[in-house]
Amino acid sequence: MLVLWFGALVLIVYITHWVYYWRNPRCNGKLPPGSMGFPLLGETLQFFSPNTTNDIPPFVKERMKRYGPVFKTSIVGRPVIVSADPDLNHFVFLQEGQLFQSWYPDTFTEIFGRQNVGSLHGFMYKYLKNMVLNLFGPESLKKMLPEVERTACRRLQRWSNEETVELKEATASMIFDLTAKKLISYDQDNATQNLRENFVAFIQGLISFPLDIPGTAYHKCLQGRKNAMKMLKNLLNERRAMQGKSRNDFFDFVLEELQKEGTILTEAIALDLMFVLLFASFETTSLALTLAIKFLSDDPSVLKKLREEHEAILRNREDTDSGLTWKEYKSMTYTFQFINETVRLANIVPGIFRKALREIQFKGYTIPAGWAVMVCPPAVHLNPAKYQDPLIFNPSRWEGVEINGATKSFMAFGGGLRFCVGTDFTKVQMAVFLHCLVTKYRWEPIKGGNVFRSPGLQFPDGFHIRLMEKTRME
């Protein structure tokens, strides 16, 4: 009996000791203030808690009020420093590859693949980045511009014949089909399996609580990835069997790289890259486009100004039916202001993760080696010290502001060495779609359009509109 009591006492002391050190992590200096939450679970539930605000996420905003712009927490079992401090954010991006490296929770790695481009570093990351720039770089986009315009015009024409259109789904389908064609010559109309269906299942559980049990969103997400990867591997094998018949797509480029003597590219890395490119190219852009149309629906003055810019492009042409030129695209000054303002308020990416490679001192605080740092773009984009009335949609605030990458106050496309290589592709798709839309169509919202974050941006009820061709008098 005495032994049992002694054993129980030892267990209690051990648990008490463990809980204490969980809540008070060891550090050579001074950790930022904050709470580590419950053992193992941390503050994961609070982080993933859904909300309907367009403001700074409540999880971050409440802790900023309590602890300041830099605080510690624990998410999915890992200690994390959350930064809403522009100076620290800039420092983290500036020291990419030196003091910090890209890092995401194990659950994200499971979802995107252990050899995905976000998890690779150094030479391998630069090698893959250069591969992607062959597809999404400015010279390629110039050649792609007519196809982007034709795709947008065809889809809009089709939607105008429908009773209602759910914009998020419709734009996602449009962008996915275009991107899949450029990447892997995938044609949904002639395919035996629906590749995008697997990505839909993947997306629904992407930013959800990481519980891998049948029936949960996270489990469906992993299954969606598994099925999509299987299809991509089959398509790659089919392409190999074509024995040199070129399709002039990204798959051709990948196969050439795989066949080179001494190549560092592996099939697993290539397939993970393809998966990430397909996902990133359509999901984030369709969210931004849907929000953009909602903003236009809510603000007739912005719509009027945008429409005037694009109608001026048509008037200045010798042939109004000729397609967009690169020069016309680059002249869309107000459109780019509109896009900047849309992505500033969209905050599609709620957090950008890095990992400290060694102990770092910053403004009197210590970031221990191995700890994650989560840069919080919404806290930067909605900072009233930088943006007057930050929750108000006002494209004109960007007048005269030149944005060529990330800044301390604007990081909608990431920052540092990992600034999104698809940024120009996203802007081309949004600008061209808006050009086709505002010059040839009008629309009216039918239902939905409510924004939901958990913590990523979602439209739980979609955004349903009725699209109609403009008359000559309009």
Strand 457-458 relative to strand 452-453: parallel, antiparallel, unpaired? antiparallel
pLDDT score of 329 more than 90: yes
Which pLDDT score, from 0 to 100, does residue 273 have?
80
pLDDT score of 345 more than 90: yes
Write out the binding residues for heme: 420
Which pLDDT score, from 0 to 100, does residue 202 have?
63
Which pLDDT score, from 0 to 100, does residue 135 have?
76
Which pLDDT score, from 0 to 100, does residue 211 have?
67
Can you tell me the distance from the alpha carbon of 205 to that of 226, in angstroms, rounded to the nearest whole number?
Answer: 13
Can you tell me the distance from the alpha carbon of 330 to that of 439, in angstroms, rounded to the nearest whole number?
Answer: 17
Convert the pLDDT of each residue in 163-192 to its tens digit.
Answer: 999 999 999 989 988 888 888 787 766 655
Average pLDDT (382-406) is 89
Q: Is 250 strand, coil or helix? A: helix
Write out the binding residues: 420
pLDDT score of 24 more than 80: no
Percent of the chain with pLDDT over 70: 82
User: Of the ranges 30-34, 215-219, 306-310, 423-427, which one carries the lowest mean pLDDT score?
Assistant: 215-219
Q: How far is CA 164 from CA 152, 174, 375, in A?
A: 17, 16, 39
What DSSP character marks residue 96?
A: B
pLDDT score of 115 more than 60: no
| Mean pLDDT of the residues in the chain | 84
* CB of 253 closer than 8 Å to CB of 236: no
Lookup: tokens for 339: 């896009």
Convert the pLDDT of each residue in 402-451 to its tens digit.
Answer: 777 668 889 888 877 667 777 888 999 999 999 999 999 999 999 999 99
Which pLDDT score, from 0 to 100, does residue 2 have?
61
Percent of the chain with pLDDT over 90: 43
Q: Is 145 strand, coil or helix? A: helix
Residue 395 is which amino acid? P
Match 């005495």 to its residue by tokens. 2
Can you tell me the distance from the alpha carbon of 396 to that of 393, in angstroms, rounded to the nearest whole number?
Answer: 9
Q: Which helix (H) or strand (E) is 203 found in, with range?
A: helix 195-204
Number of H helices, E strands in the chain: 17, 12
* CB of 95 closer than 8 Å to CB of 101: no
Indicate the pTM of the whole model: 0.88
User: Of the ranges 210-219, 232-241, 264-273, which one carries the lowest mean pLDDT score?
Assistant: 210-219
Residue 196 is which amino acid? R
The better pLDDT of the pair 391, 452 is held by 391
Q: Is 375 strand, coil or helix? A: strand
Convert the pLDDT of each residue in 352-366 to its tens digit.
Answer: 889 999 999 999 999
Match 């910053």 to its residue by tokens. 362
| Farthest CA pair distance, the chain | 98
* CB of 360 closer than 8 Å to CB of 367: yes
Can you tell me the distance from the alpha carbon of 200 to that of 196, in angstroms, rounded to the nearest whole number?
Answer: 6
Q: Is 132 strand, coil or helix? A: helix
* CB of 60 closer than 8 Å to CB of 461: no
Convert the pLDDT of each residue in 280-326 to its tens digit.
Answer: 777 889 999 999 999 999 999 999 999 999 999 999 988 777 889 99
Average pLDDT (153-162) is 96
Which pLDDT score, from 0 to 100, does residue 79 have?
92
Domain architecture of the chain: domains with CATH: 115-331+395-474 (1.10.630.10)
The better pLDDT of the pair 13, 195 is held by 195
